Amino acid sequence: MHIHILGICGTFMGGVAALARAAGVDVTGCDSAVYPPMSTQLKDLGVEIHEGFDAKQLDAKPDCVVVGNVMSRGSEVVEAMLDRGIPYTSGPRWLADNVLRDRHVLAVAGTHGKTTAASMLAWILQDAGHAPGFLIGGIPTNFGMSASLGKSKYFVVEADEYDTAFFDKRAKFVHYGPRTLVLNNLEFDHADIFKDLDAIQWQFHQLLRTVPSSGRIIMNAADENLSELIKSGCWTPVETFASDNKADWTAKFMDAAERRIGIKTPGGLSGETRWKLGGRHNLENALAAVAAAQSADVTLEQSLDALSRFEGVKRRMERTATVGNIAIYDDFAHHPTAIRRTIAAMKRRYPGQRIVVAIEPRSNTMKLGVHNDTLAASLGEADIVWMYRPSDMSGEFESSLAPLGDRLRLFGDYDKLVSDMSAKVLSGDQVIFMSNGGFGSARQTLTAVLQRTRRS
């Protein structure tokens, strides 16, 4: 069996490739943007990647083409696939038909935190001896890969609300059939495919319709949009979680530096552990993962023990270098809520030190100007902001950043941005690169420059 994956370097499609390879399928693929960590994972798997979307790549006559949602009608390879009558499917459908069938699927959905919460959940199950399968939109450091078939009935999937493919405009997650569903939060995002919040809620409600009455839904009690979603119709028992005392599952920080957490179950059991993360958003992620793990009969004690050894996720506040006492991080944050929470967590974790941010507003929602009214406020606690300005940003973008004043450094060239950063960062700074893309390798370039000029 030979499948050819269109858009193979996306985190989801790269995970599908890994699962197919593990199942003994011959896998090839194509993409236009090839960069780590997914390109590295695919190379290690021995997957041949064709660069570009031309028709010639189909001359190998794959048995099936798996189409990523990056593809659209008019693309040469898509038109050739249709003209030649080659069988095709979507990534989510391939996953459902070939991997998820007859398994206990634990799905993690929401606007923010899906990758981290799903990674925590997979690690908790692994550490408890369950050997779960998983497909996550990032690479958990504890596993070193984004996907695994696993060896048990349990499978953890990051449940994305983005559309499935050009021929299936439903959200990806309606294909998964979860028995345990985590609902982390719900905000407006993906303005390129959703008209408004109601359109996203409608997709989430289709997801609720697929969860059996014998299953379990784990919901963030503090999110009003999720509460409204449940009121619109739910046929599955719901357990709530929150970082206060107004939910079934609760959690809190046990120290000011957020290096120790405590969790309490609906039954009144409680426990504490040290961990390596920080931030209230990650506390909520951990709480959701612990609650979901209980549906696989994992005890609170086992979950807390696993969390103490959770190493995080690549590109989710991943500390990639420390040069001359300057710490450099890679972070995937690209929505104002995630940006604000990340900076606030770093401020609490490193009091008295500067938190400086380099950000690339790359998402379609950002480029459409949807977040212009909230982006500057989300960066309000940063001491300096280096902003890369893509040429296709909306005309109001720069004026929307005016509240940042002289803390803003705006550049339309990656090299000039890095040069300015290298001259202004100081010893003790916590430097965060935020992008859902490659950022022109700016982080790697700054690291190399500092290694030449600031090595202590």
Q: Is the pLDDT of residue 184 over 70?
A: yes
Fold assignment, 318-453: Protein-Tyrosine Phosphatase; Chain A (3.90.190)
| Element at 228 (helix H, strand E) | helix 224-231
Cβ atoms 308, 274 nearer than 8 A: yes
Which residue, among 47, 50, 48, has the nearest Cα to 22 in the 3D structure?
Answer: 47
Contacts (Cβ under 8 Å, ≥6 apart) of 224: none
Where does residue 441 rank: exposed (0-12), middle (13-18), buried (19+ CB within 10 A)? middle
Which residue, among 70, 74, 59, 73, has the nearest Cα to 28 in the 3D structure?
Answer: 59
Q: What gap in Å lies between CA 19 and CA 157, rounded to an integer?
A: 12
- pTM, to two decimals: 0.85
Tens digits of residue pLDDT in 30-43: 999 776 667 787 88
Q: Which range, of 54-58, 62-66, 438-442, 445-449, averages the lowest pLDDT?
A: 438-442
Rounded mean pLDDT, 343-370 = 86
Rounded mean pLDDT, 409-418 = 96
Q: Express as a percent the part of the chain with pLDDT over 90.
A: 77
Q: Would you place residue 86 in the very low, low, confident or very high pLDDT band (cuts 50, 70, 90)?
A: very high
Fold assignment, 2-90: Rossmann fold (3.40.50)
Tokens matching residue 367: 């480029």
Rounded mean pLDDT, 242-266 = 92
Q: What gap in Å lies between CA 84 and CA 4, rounded to an integer?
A: 14
Q: What gap in Å lies between CA 290 and CA 183, rounded to an integer?
A: 13
pLDDT score of 36:
67
CATH 3.90.190.20 residue spans of the chain: 318-453
Which residue, among 234, 160, 235, 240, has the nearest Cα to 200 in the 3D structure?
Answer: 160
Place of tokens 């890994």: 18
Q: Is the pLDDT of residue 253 over 90?
A: yes
Q: What is the mean pLDDT of the chain?
A: 92
Q: What gap in Å lies between CA 141 and CA 126, rounded to an integer?
A: 13
Q: Which residues pair with 219 in a beta bridge?
A: 183, 240
pLDDT score of 455:
64
pLDDT score of 437:
81
In the chain, how long is the greatest CA-to-CA distance?
63
pLDDT score of 37:
66
CATH tag, 102-307: 3.40.1190.10
Cβ atoms 197, 370 nearer than 8 A: no
Q: Which range, of 78-82, 188-192, 354-358, averages the lowest pLDDT?
A: 188-192
| Element at 23 (helix H, strand E) | none
Tens digits of residue pLDDT in 357-410: 999 987 766 766 677 788 899 999 999 999 999 888 877 888 899 999 999 999
Q: Is the pLDDT of residue 456 over 60?
A: no
Q: Which range, of 120-129, 358-367, 443-452, averages the lowest pLDDT?
A: 358-367
CATH 3.40.1190.10 residue spans of the chain: 102-307
Rounded mean pLDDT, 341-347 = 91
Q: Is the pLDDT of residue 191 over 70?
A: no
CATH 3.40.50.720 residue spans of the chain: 2-90
Crossing angle for the helix pair 11-22 and 38-45, to the nearest 10 degrees: 20
